Amino acid sequence: MTELCPITTSPTRLALKILGAEDVHRVHAAALALLGAEGAGAEKAARLAPDTVVLGGRVYEHHTVLGVAHCWLGTGGPAALVRPREGGDPRPAIPADLAEACRLADALPEVAVVHGPPVHAAAETLPAELACCFASTSKHVQLTTLRSAAEADVVLRMAIAVAGSDVEVRGRPPVSLCAGADALGAAAVFARAGLPVGIVAAPSGHAGDDDTADLAAALVRHHAGVLAACAAIQAIVPGAPFFYVADPALAGLAAGSPEAAMFLIAATQLGAHIGLPVSAVGMTTGSHEPDWQACTQNAFGALSTMAAGADLTAGAGTLGGGSVFSAQQLVMDSEIYSWNARITAGVMVEDETIALDAIKKVGIGGNFLGQRHTREHMDGVWRPRLLDRSMWDAWVASGSEGAYEKASQLTDEHLAEHQVLPLGDQLTETLARIVAEAGL
Amino acid sequence: MQCAVDPLGHDGPNLEANLVAAEHGLASGFMPMPLAAGTGPATLAGNLVVQNAETLSGVVLLQLAFPGSPCFFAGAPSVIDLKTGGYTGGSPEDYLLAAASTQLAHFYGLPMAMGTMATGAKEPDWQAAIDDSLSTFASVMTSADLMNGAGLLNGSKILSYPHMVMESEIYSIVQKVAGGIEVSDETLALDVIKKVGSNGTYLAEKHTRAHMKEIWRPSVWDRTPYDTWLREGKKGALHNATEIADDILENYRPEPLPEDVVKELRAIVDRADKELAGA
C-alpha cells in the first residue's frame, strides 16, 4: 500500500554563535578583499537572491522551504560503496542500492531531502540515477555530482516532466544543485530555469591531507567562494534562488572534527549575514562503522548546524567521510536529527508551561502523574526509537540489544512495508525516453 | 552536594550535613532531580520552577545560618520514561533543562555543577555517544562550571574505565569548539591566501607551520584510511580507549599524600567507624 509519510521538523529557536558580530564583519570584509574588484558586486549580488528557497517534492507533503527558521534533514552521498544490510564489509554499489536507499529515505519521516544521490554505482549515468531517485521517493532530490551544462539540460527536462511544466518547475522544483566550482556551467542552466543552486566557486585550498591550519582563513576562502558563485549566478539571472553551501569538506576540514563543527556554526552565521538560506553538510563522520565514533561526530555536526540556524543539514546515512552508504546509519542519523530537533525547539515559557497552579497543588513530596496538566502535555515529551531504557536484567534477557540492532529491525520493516507514491506509467516512460535520448 | 527530595523537599540529615560544611567554610551545593511528568510538571518551564525552588531554598537556608558560606547550584534534571515510569537517563529534554538551569544559576551569580554524561546506556556504545555528546555540548555551551558523571553507564550504576576515557575525548572536542574562532589579521591570513592562490597548497607555508599545532588531534577516534583500519583488525574507539585506560592504570601514579596526613586520615576513619557503628 502506498504510504505518504509527512516530513517531521520543528522550529529552530536557538541561535548558537561562534563568531562575534565584529568577527563576522571582519571575515566578510576579508572575503570581499580577496575577491578584489569583484567584491563590491558580489555583495550586491547576494542581496539580489531570495531569502527563502523552495525545494519541491512530488507531493505537497514533501515540499520543504529553506529560510523559514526550520532545519531539515538530508541524506549524504553519493557513496560508491554500500555496507550490506545483513552485515559484512562494504562492497561496490549496484543500481538496486540506490533504489533501496531512496525508498528508505522516503519512509523515514525525518528525512526531507535526498541529497547526493546517496549511492553511485559505477557505470550508471546521472540521468539514469535521477530517474531511479524519482521512482523511489517523492521527496526533493539535491544533486551534488552534476558537472556539465549538457547533463544539466537533461536533468532539467526530467525535472520539468516531473513537475508538469516549465512554469510549475519554478514553483516547486523537484531538483536542486549543491556543488563546487566545476559545476558553474550546470548551475547556470539550473538558474535560468528557476531551479535552486548552491555553489562554492573557488577551491578552498588544503593545509594538509585533511586539516586547514587556521579556521578564520578557511572561512575567508570559503565565504569568498560562495560570494563569487552567487555573483556569477545572479549576473546571469538576477533573483535566481541561491543557497549558501556550508560543507566542511569543501573547506578542506577533517570529516567530523571539532574544527568542522566550528566551521559549520561560523559558515551558518556568514550565510545569515548576507541573507542567504544555508544548506550544510552536518553529518560527515569519518568512522568506518555505525558506532560510538560515528555517533559523536554526527551528533556534534548536526547540533552545530541546527542550533546555529542552518536550514538543511545533510550527510545522513554515510560513513567513511561519505564514501560508504549504510541503511542502518541512515536510520541512526535520523534519530540523531530527531534529538537535535527537540533541542533546537528550545523551552517554551508561558503561564501554561510554567504550571504554577499544578506545582502548588502537588506540593511537597507529591507526584504529577495523575495531574490533568501532565495528561495534557505528556505527548510533548520526546520518545526514542533506538534507545534502550529497560532495566539491566530485562536488557540482558532480551539479548543485550543495542541501537544498531534496533536500527536494523526498523530498516527491514520500512523496506518490507513502505511503498513509494508511484510515478505512473506515462511519467516513467517519459523519464526513460529522456535518459535514453541523452546518451550520456 | 546533596540531592533534594523532589518535588520541593529536602532531607533533614542531608541539610544538617550541608550546615556543618557551611559552618566550616566548605563549599556546599544542592542537586534537584525532578523527573518531568513524575516528580515535576511535564512541561520544561514548570520543571525548572520546581528545581529552582529546591536549590534556592537550600542556598537561602545556608546563607541565613552562615552568611557568605560558599554555595553552588547543581542539577541532574530528566524526564520520566512514559513507557515504564522509570528514569530515562538521557533525552533531549534533559539537555534543555541542564542548559536552562545553568542560566538560572548564573542569574543568581552562583556557579553550576551540572550532572553531565552519566548515560542510561548499558555499554560505551552509540547510545552512550549521543547522550554524552549532547549533554556535554549543552553544559559547556551554557558555561556550566563543573560537569559530573564521567565514566558512568546505566544511569550511574556502572563505572567503566574505557568509557571514562571516551568521555574525556568528548569533553576535549566540546572544549575545543567552545574555545571559538580567533579572528585577527594573523588568523585571517589574507596575504597567505593571496600568495597560495586558488589551486595551491598551504603545506609549505610558514603560516601553516606557525599554526598547525593548534589543530585538535584525537586520542580515541580512529582516522586511519579504510584499508589500514581493515588490515589492523578494525580497531575502533572502544579498543583505543581500553588501551589508554590500561596504560594509565598500569603506569600513572597520582601525587601521594604526605605520610602524616595518611596517618591522620586513618585515625579519623577508625574513630568514625567506632562512633558511627550502629548509628
Among the ranges given (A125-129, B15-19, B74-78), the one the predictor scored with the smallest mean pLDDT = B74-78
* Nearest Cα residue to A135 out of A423, A362, A431, A366: A423
DSSP-assigned letters across all residues of A223-279: HHHHHHHHHHHHHHSTT--B-EEE-GGGGTPPTT-HHHHHHHHHHHHHHHHTT--EE
Task: For residues B36 and B95, give the distance between their C-alpha atoms in angstroms, rounded to a whole number.
Answer: 13
Per-residue confidence (pLDDT) for residue B197, from 0 to 100: 87
> Is the model's pLDDT at B278 over the cut of 80?
no
Looking at per-residue confidence, does A9 or A70 come out higher?
A70
Q: Nearest CA of chain B to the CA of A357: how many Å?
A: 10
Measure the N-to-C terminal CA separation of chain A; round to a whole number of Å.
Answer: 35
Per-residue pLDDT, averaged over A111-132, amounts to: 96
Residue B159, helix vs strand vs coil = strand
- pLDDT confidence of residue A173: 98
Tens of pLDDT along B13-71?
999 999 999 999 999 999 999 999 999 999 999 999 999 999 999 999 999 999 999 99
Residues of A in Cβ contact (< 8 Å) with B143? none
Burial class (CB in 10 A: 0-12, 13-18, 19+), A88: exposed
Please judge whether B221 and A286 are an interchain contact, meaning their C-beta atoms are less than 8 angstroms apart: yes
**3-state secondary structure at position A315:** strand
**pLDDT (0 to 100) of residue A338:** 97
Candidates A30, A89, A386; nearest CB to B188: A30
User: How far is B158 from chain A, CA to nearest CA, in Å?
Assistant: 10
And the C-alpha cell for A406?
A: 534496533
| Rounded alpha-carbon distances, angstroms, from residue A92 to A25, A84, A95, A123, B169 | 46, 10, 10, 12, 33
ipTM of the complex: 0.93
Nearest chain A residue (CA) to B178 = A18
Give the contacts of B146 (CB within 8 A, at least 6 positions apart). B72, B111, B112, B113, B114
Q: And the C-alpha cell for A439?
A: 546518451
Beta bridge partners of B152: B159
Per-residue confidence at A439, pLDDT binned at 50, 70, 90? Answer: confident
CA distance A126 to A134: 12
Q: Is the pLDDT of residue A207 over 70?
A: no
> For residue A349, which residues of chain B lie inside 8 Å, CB to CB?
45
Nearest CB to B202 within list A206, A292, A403: A206
Give the residue from chain B lying closest to A349, CA to CA.
B45
Whether the per-residue pLDDT at B118 is higher than 90: the answer is no
Is the pLDDT reported for residue A380 higher than 80? yes
Contact B155, B135 (CB under 8 A): no
Q: What pLDDT was estimated at residue A391?
A: 86
> What is the share, in percent, of chain B residues with pLDDT greater than 90?
89
**Rounded mean pLDDT, B209-214:** 93
Q: Which is nearest to A214 in space by CA: B190, B211, B199, B203? A: B211
Mean pLDDT of B127-137: 95
Q: Tell me what pLDDT residue B199 has.
A: 78
Q: Give yes or no for a contact between A354 and A108, defined as CB atoms under 8 angstroms apart.
A: no
Name the pairing type of β-strands A140-143 and A111-116. parallel
Q: Are A335 and B121 a contacting pair at CB < 8 A?
A: no
pLDDT in tens, A139-181: 999 999 998 999 999 999 999 999 999 999 999 999 999 998 8
Peptide bond into B7 cis (omega under 30): yes
B-chain CB neighbours of A393 within 8 Å are: none
Name the closest residue on chain B to residue A298, using Cα atoms. Answer: B130
With a cut of 50, say whether residue A210 has pLDDT above it: no
User: Average pLDDT in the B153-179 region?
Assistant: 96
Name the nearest CA neighbour of A137 among A165, A169, A100, A163: A100
Specify the amino acid at residue A72: W
Stretch A27-47: mean pLDDT: 91
How far the first Cα of chain B sits from its last, in Å, is: 22
**Cα(B74)–Cα(B105) distance, rounded to whole angstroms?**
8
The region of weakest confidence among A90-104, A190-204, A236-250, B133-147 is A190-204
pLDDT at A437 over 90: yes
CB contact under 8 A, B180 and A297: no
The predicted pLDDT at position A330 comes to: 98
At residue A264, the pLDDT reads 97
Residue of A nearest to B237 (CA): A293
User: Which residues in B lie closer than 8 A to residue A403 (C-beta atoms)?
Assistant: 125-127
DSSP, res A295: H
Give the pLDDT confidence of B86-105 residue by residue, as tens digits: 788 889 999 999 999 999 99
Residues in chain A: 440
Tell me: pLDDT of A284 over 50: yes
- The three cell numbers of residue A314 are 545533510
Pairs across A and B, CB distance < 8 A: 308
CA contacts within 13 A on the Cβ side of A113: 31
Name the pLDDT band for A108 (thresholds 50, 70, 90): very high
CB pair distance less than 8 Å for B83 and A389: yes
Element (H, E) at A98: helix A95-107
With cut-offs at 50, 70 and 90, classify the pLDDT of residue A22.
Answer: very high
Q: Of A245, A279, A266, A311, whose CA–CA distance to A12 is shortest?
A: A311
Inter-chain CB proximity B202 and A205 less than 8 Å: yes
Number of neighbours of residue A246 by Cβ within 10 angstroms: 32
> Could you identify the residue written with the cell 539537555?
B95
Q: Are A11 and A4 in contact (CB under 8 A)?
A: no
CA A395 to chain B, closest CA, distance in angstroms equals: 9
Rounded mean pLDDT of chain A?
93
**Residue among B140, B6, B7, B148 at smallest CA distance from B72:** B148
Give the rounded percent of residues in chain A with a pLDDT score beyond 90: 86
pLDDT at A85 over 70: yes
The label of the residue with cell 547522550 reads: B131
Determine which of B3, B47, B130 to mutate to test the interface with A (most A C-beta atoms within 10 Å).
B130
In Å, how far are A195, B17, B168 from B237, measured between CA atoms? 42, 41, 12
- In this predicted structure, the answer to whether residue B8 has a pLDDT above a threshold of 50 is yes
pLDDT at position A206 over 70: no
Does A19 have pLDDT greater than 60? yes
Burial call B82-109: b when 16+ CB within 10 Å, e when fewer: beeebbbbbbbbbbbbbbbbbebbbeee
pLDDT one-digit tens code per residue, B262-271: 999 999 999 9
- By the 8 A CB rule, do A111 and A75 touch? yes
Query: What would the DSSP string read from start to end of B49-109?
Result: HHHHHHHHHHHHHHHHHSTT--EEEEE--EEB-TTTSSB-S--HHHHHHHHHHHHHHHHTT
Mean pLDDT of chain B: 94
Q: Does the pLDDT value for residue A386 go beyond 50?
A: yes
Q: Looking at CA atoms only, how far is residue A434 from chain B in angstroms?
A: 37
Predicted pLDDT at B279: 65
User: How confident is the model at residue B17, as a pLDDT?
Assistant: 96
Q: What pLDDT score was predicted for residue A209?
A: 42
pLDDT greater than 80 at residue A205: no
- The whole-angstrom separation of Cα B32 and Cα B78 is 10
Q: What does the pLDDT read at residue A2?
A: 64
Sort out which chain A residues have CB atoms less than 8 A from B198's CB and list them: 202-203, 205
Q: What is the pLDDT of residue B110?
A: 97
